[in-house]
Amino acid sequence: MKTRKDKIALATLSIAVGMALCSPAYSAPQPSQNTSQEQAGSVVKGSYVETANSANYDVQTKLLGPTDIPRIEQTANFSTKTMETMSSPASEEYILNRNYADSSTFPMRLIKKLNQPWTAAPKSPITGMAATCFYGVPAYKAPQKFDPHTTPITVTSDKVSGDIAQKDKQILTYSGKVEIVQGDRKIQSEKATYSGEKKTLTTEGNTTMSSGEYTTTTQEPVELDLDKKTVKGTKTTYQLNGSVLNGDAEEYVFDNAQGKKILKKATLSGCPADKRSWHMYSSSVEVDDGDSFGSAWNDVFFVGKVPVFYTPYANFPVTNKRKTGLLPASVEYKSGYGFGYELPIYLNLAPNYDATITPGRDPEHGAKYDGEIRYMPFENFTGSIIGTYLPNDPKFTRVVTTTNGTAYTENSDSTSSDRKRWFLNLKDRVTFLERDLVFTLDYSKVREGDYTYLSDISQKDAAVTDSSLVQSLRGVYDQDKYDVSVELRKYQNMYSTSSFNTYKPFAMLPQIKLRGYDTYNRFTYRTEAELTRFSVEKYTSDNKNLYMNRMHLQPSLKYNAFDSYGTTVDFGATGFLTHYDQSDLKYFSTAYQQRLGYANVQDSITRSTYLLEAKAKTTLERKVLDMNHTQTLEPEVKYMYIPYRDQRNIPLYDTTSRYDEYYTLFSPMRYAGIDRIANLNTITAGFTTRLLDSHDRENMRFSLAQGYNMDKQRVHLNEYYDNSLYESRHRTPIEANFDAEYKSFNYHAQAQYDPEVKEFYAYNAGIHYTNKMTGFKTGISYRYLKNGNYLVEDGRTIKDLSQIGLTASLPLSPYWTLFGASYRDLEQNYNIDTKVGIRYDECCYSIALVYEDYLKYNWAKNRHENDRVIGLNIEFKGFYTVNIRKISDVRGTNTHYLPDVIPNNLNR
């Protein structure tokens, strides 16, 4: 039950919303004082027309009187009452609740909207921590286009005096809150004088000039020439609106007629004006209106008062549009190998073409050149070409294939001069027929025999499947009730072994899939069809290609028998018809036959079976805790029946085991792929319970399920290797999931428990804490999987997987942060990945020292080794950054292998 105070607060919020929606918006006129020469509300007008060679000008002076005071007071009272309501204890508690609904902050958001909320600039915007350092910076607004020759100039002030009788010698003096406006440009000053003889307006005292893009301030006079359409001033400071960039200039000229801005002896910095840690000095700066880039001459970069860099000319961006130039560099130090670096160069080739070329040096592998070309030749066609080239890698150990098909590994101490390594990736996407028809290309390749490239170089752009590079061309046609896909897929094997020909993965040349689906009344039907031609290139001694065909048809029909009040009952039937033509299996070696899991060579096999299923689920709920929370109970039960079919002579073309958890127990597919369909006579029962807050956001979720198979499981994945512990048992493990959020904590736990042997087969858990006020965050995670790992020394002996992870980010002060992460294998007692860093971060620059030590497998020596990286990250905000090679997250606890994430998926 809500307290009386809460009800009053909510009622007040509702009244505030109603007033905001119903009340008109008001603007307050400036108060003025009458003098002997003017009356409140009067307009003093001056005009002048010269010869045909001179432009017309028009100056209007309008005095605003104290009118409409009741409307001003009404607006002020409305704002005051609304702010009082939003500042009440009840409102603050409501807003501080991280699970609040949007409606709770609607009045505040509405007020901010009416007041034109702050907007960041497109270039070097103020974000994050910098918002507190640059408090008060005006919002960015897109510049207004207007003709300076025809747009009138309006002057308003508290007082105006002067003689307007003689047109050639008009002298008008404006004083008290003077505003000179033309278009979106405004000059505000304490005093301004208009000269009819010179056709100028000159300000005195504190003067501010502003537009949507910039704001300048000076104590010196500013001269506005009405004929030349120029604005001149000296000793001014400027701020780019919505941006961290600011500076000062000894002289400046804004030529509105030519659309130019010229600054003399100017500085530029991304630091607050009163705490300038770095700045760029230029003898002259010029920016043209409408241009995305400016020019600067004789530029010197200062850190403090020390000059560290000089260039006679620089071309810099004033918007976020692209331009050829240098990108942030990366530097690293690697123990035992020295320094490495990357210096990316951006090339803006055309509006629809660009490229990045990155020369550099890898401490361990020598000179390294990366390149990426991005293109969009047509509106519906995008693509990229990515390449890496190492001209002479001293660590390269190549596998050489002889003419008779045997292979040997080159000695790493070989005197061979052929140490070149390279990588190529092509990605393209083209669409037709309003994007219903899509073609994609993803092709990756390395030099033949370079089987350790991915482990040595850590190529981020490679598409990898089962340690093989993917080479795929795919087309998809998608409609409301059906879709068709055709794919040609090959692989480049990346196993580093002299018998690598034995383990070539199957190519699919092609794989065609067709799916159709529709509903009628309570029926839903779906049909899937597939035709795949598998191949292995040059397998036999005479380099013969081997081919196998698979055809699959899978129609299904489901009937919704009952659906009311949160309860559903469904029945379904699915047919499976698969045919294999595989006479070329006879060429495979015994080792390959065991790996593919088939007992005997059978040239042609047809397998047919079916699935019958029935499922019932209901949702119950009740109010709990403070009666603002809801607990649900969602029990469900499912029966599935698939008869046994002998599949021992069918190879595992693209089928493997699947990790079980709560939801997979309700699936009839016990394996990932269609080469094995398990026999089922199974009842699976489970339930999910959730705790929802007053806005139906999940605070907690717990699920528990187990299946019972009334028939013994007779379909095994591979007859030659140990099968799952549970394939021969009637009961599946008990699957449990738990996710929760409470204040600043996030929890996750998942487990597989075998009640027959009374032990856990797999489990993992994680706790994550975040303090948004201080910035402190930490987490701990653990995972276990029985027989889920290999001995690190040889990579063949099966071991249990038992690993723990710790992450933490500790603010030592408002500027210093210590952060780190460590993942360790407890079963074998070795480090997987450890990272530690310290970062100093203030308004305009940051420095981070980061060290990371992660495990890496040396395929040439068949052993694990530690890869250690140390680097210094320096960022001059809004100007330039020096990154650390091989450490992507220099600010936090993401490591080389694992990101630091919230362990549960509630409300996401």
In this prediction, residues 606-622 reach a mean pLDDT of: 96
DSSP 22: H
237 pLDDT more than 50:
yes
Contacts of 533 (CB under 8 A, 6+ apart): 508, 509, 510, 511, 547, 548, 549
At residue 21 the predicted structure's pLDDT band, cuts being 50, 70 and 90, is: very low
In this prediction, residues 91-113 reach a mean pLDDT of: 49
Helix, strand, coil shares of the chain as percentages rounded to 5?
A: 10, 50, 40
What is the structure's pLDDT at 370? 94
- When divided into structural domains, the chain yields a total of 3
287 forms bridges with which residues in the sheet?
A: 261, 294
Contacts of 167 (CB under 8 A, 6+ apart): 46, 48, 196
Question: Same structural domain for residues 447 and 431?
Answer: yes
282-338 confidence digits (pLDDT tens): 999 998 877 777 889 999 999 989 998 898 988 877 777 788 888 888 888 877 788
> Is 386 part of a structural domain of the chain?
yes
43 forms bridges with which residues in the sheet?
A: 62
431-441 confidence digits (pLDDT tens): 999 999 999 99
What is the structure's pLDDT at 730? 83
At residue 578 the predicted structure's pLDDT band, cuts being 50, 70 and 90, is: very high
Torsion angle of the four alpha carbons 215, 218, 223, 226, in this order, in degrees rounded to the nearest 10: 20
How far apart are the C-alpha atoms of 727 and 713, rounded to whole Å? 5
At residue 64 the predicted structure's pLDDT band, cuts being 50, 70 and 90, is: very low
Nearest to 694 by CA among 105, 108, 106, 94: 94
Q: Which of 335-344, 643-652, 707-716 has the highest mean pLDDT?
A: 643-652
Question: Same structural domain for residues 63 and 132?
Answer: yes
Question: Same structural domain for residues 369 and 492?
Answer: yes
At residue 232 the predicted structure's pLDDT band, cuts being 50, 70 and 90, is: very high
Q: Which of 51-60, 82-91, 305-314, 586-595 has the highest mean pLDDT?
A: 305-314
What is the structure's pLDDT at 783? 94
Q: Which of 252-266, 326-340, 515-529 has the highest mean pLDDT?
A: 515-529
Q: What phi, psi does 102 have (nearest 5°)?
A: -60, -30
Q: Which H or E run includes 107?
A: helix 106-114
Average pLDDT over the chain reads 82
Instruction: Give residue 890's identity as a one-letter amino acid code.
Output: V
How far apart are the C-alpha atoms of 290 and 318, rounded to whole Å? 10
- The label of the residue with tokens 């704001």 reads 215
**Considering 285, 317, 349, which residue would you say is the last residue of a domain?**
317
Q: Which H or E run includes 779?
A: strand 777-790
At residue 634 the predicted structure's pLDDT band, cuts being 50, 70 and 90, is: very high
Question: Same structural domain for residues 9 and 42?
Answer: no
Worst-scoring range by mean pLDDT, 303-307, 769-773, 841-845? 841-845
Strands 329-334, 880-884: pairing is parallel
The DSSP code sequence of 293-361 is EEEEEEEEEEETTEEEEEEEEEEEESSS---SEEPPEEEEEETTTEEEEE--EEEEEETTEEEEEEEEE
Question: Same structural domain for residues 285 and 346?
Answer: no
What is the structure's pLDDT at 722? 54
458-485 confidence digits (pLDDT tens): 776 676 766 788 999 999 999 999 999 9
408 pLDDT more than 70:
no
Q: How far, in whole angstroms, is CA 491 from its chain's centroid?
A: 29
Nearest to 703 by CA among 671, 666, 677, 731: 666
Question: Same structural domain for residues 259 and 337?
Answer: no
> Is 782 part of a structural domain of the chain?
no
> Is 311 part of a structural domain of the chain?
yes
> Is 605 part of a structural domain of the chain?
no
In this prediction, residues 878-882 reach a mean pLDDT of: 81
Say which residue, 178 or 889, is predicted with more confidence: 178
If 0-12 CB within 10 Å is exposed, 13-18 middle and 19+ buried, where does residue 233 land?
A: buried
Count, residues in the chain: 908
In this prediction, residues 827-833 reach a mean pLDDT of: 89
Compute the C-alpha angle 284/285/287, nearest 5°.
150
8 pLDDT more than 70:
no
421 pLDDT more than 80:
yes
Question: Same structural domain for residues 400 and 335?
Answer: yes
How far apart are the C-alpha atoms of 361 and 393, rounded to whole Å? 11
Nearest to 559 by CA among 567, 575, 571: 571
What is the structure's pLDDT at 165? 66
> Is 409 part of a structural domain of the chain?
yes
59 pLDDT more than 90:
no
In this prediction, residues 624-628 reach a mean pLDDT of: 85
DSSP 35: B
DSSP 120: -
At residue 243 the predicted structure's pLDDT band, cuts being 50, 70 and 90, is: confident
Q: How many CB atoms lie within 10 A of CB 177?
A: 16
What is the structure's pLDDT at 329? 85
In this prediction, residues 763-785 reach a mean pLDDT of: 93
103 pLDDT more than 70:
no
723 pLDDT more than 70:
no
If 0-12 CB within 10 Å is exposed, 13-18 middle and 19+ buried, where does residue 606 land?
A: exposed
Q: Which H or E run includes 570?
A: strand 567-581
Worst-scoring range by mean pLDDT, 252-266, 322-336, 577-591? 322-336
Helix (H, G, I), strand (E, B) or coil at 89: helix
Question: Same structural domain for residues 218 and 291?
Answer: yes
At residue 632 the predicted structure's pLDDT band, cuts being 50, 70 and 90, is: very high
> Is 555 part of a structural domain of the chain?
no
In this prediction, residues 702-722 reach a mean pLDDT of: 86
95 pLDDT more than 90:
no
At residue 43 the predicted structure's pLDDT band, cuts being 50, 70 and 90, is: very low
In this prediction, residues 566-581 reach a mean pLDDT of: 97
> Is 448 part of a structural domain of the chain?
yes
Say which residue, 25 or 738, is predicted with more confidence: 738
How far apart are the C-alpha atoms of 217 and 235, rounded to whole Å? 9
858 pLDDT more than 80:
no
Contact 835, 893 (CB under 8 A): yes
In this prediction, residues 262-286 reach a mean pLDDT of: 90
Question: Same structural domain for residues 372 and 478?
Answer: yes
**Considering 471, 501, 531, which residue would you say is the last residue of a domain?**
501
How far apart are the C-alpha atoms of 572 and 756, rounded to whole Å? 32
Q: Tell me, what CATH number does 256's domain have?
A: 2.60.450.10
The DSSP code sequence of 45-82 is EEEE---TTS--EEEEEEPPPS--HHHHHHHHHHHHHH
In this prediction, residues 849-878 reach a mean pLDDT of: 81
Contact 811, 831 (CB under 8 A): no
What is the structure's pLDDT at 178? 93
The pTM of the full predicted model, rounded to 2 decimals, is 0.76
150: tokens are 């025809």
- The label of the residue with tokens 């035709």 reads 531
How far apart are the C-alpha atoms of 30 and 72, rounded to whole Å? 11
What is the structure's pLDDT at 649? 92
- The label of the residue with tokens 């490679």 reads 462
What is the structure's pLDDT at 369? 94
Nearest to 316 by CA among 266, 259, 360: 266
What is the structure's pLDDT at 92? 59
Q: Which H or E run includes 457?
A: helix 453-457
Question: Same structural domain for residues 183 and 212?
Answer: yes
Domain extent at residue 90: 1-29+69-117
Helix (H, G, I), strand (E, B) or coil at 848: strand
> Is 444 part of a structural domain of the chain?
yes
96: tokens are 């501080």
405 pLDDT more than 80:
no
145-169 confidence digits (pLDDT tens): 888 888 898 999 999 888 766 666 7
- Biggest CA-to-CA distance, the chain: 114
At residue 28 the predicted structure's pLDDT band, cuts being 50, 70 and 90, is: very low
665: tokens are 């127990």
What is the structure's pLDDT at 221? 93
Q: How many CB atoms lie within 10 A of CB 82?
A: 21
68 pLDDT more than 80:
no
Contact 334, 361 (CB under 8 A): no
Say which residue, 209 or 6, is predicted with more confidence: 209
Contacts of 826 (CB under 8 A, 6+ apart): 802, 803, 804
Question: Same structural domain for residues 470 and 345?
Answer: yes
**Considering 317, 351, 373, which residue would you say is the last residue of a domain?**
317
How far apart are the C-alpha atoms of 72 and 294, rounded to whole Å? 44
Q: How many CB atoms lie within 10 A of CB 374?
A: 16
Nearest to 697 by CA among 109, 1, 97: 97
Question: Same structural domain for residues 21 and 44?
Answer: no
Worst-scoring range by mean pLDDT, 192-206, 498-512, 522-536? 498-512
Contact 743, 899 (CB under 8 A): no
Sequence-ordered alpha helix ranges (H) in 519-615: 590-596
At residue 621 the predicted structure's pLDDT band, cuts being 50, 70 and 90, is: very high
What is the structure's pLDDT at 789? 84
Contact 636, 614 (CB under 8 A): no
813: tokens are 């002060």
Contacts of 46 (CB under 8 A, 6+ apart): 58, 59, 60, 61, 164, 167, 170, 172, 194, 196
What is the structure's pLDDT at 33? 40
What is the structure's pLDDT at 46? 40
In this prediction, residues 772-777 reach a mean pLDDT of: 90
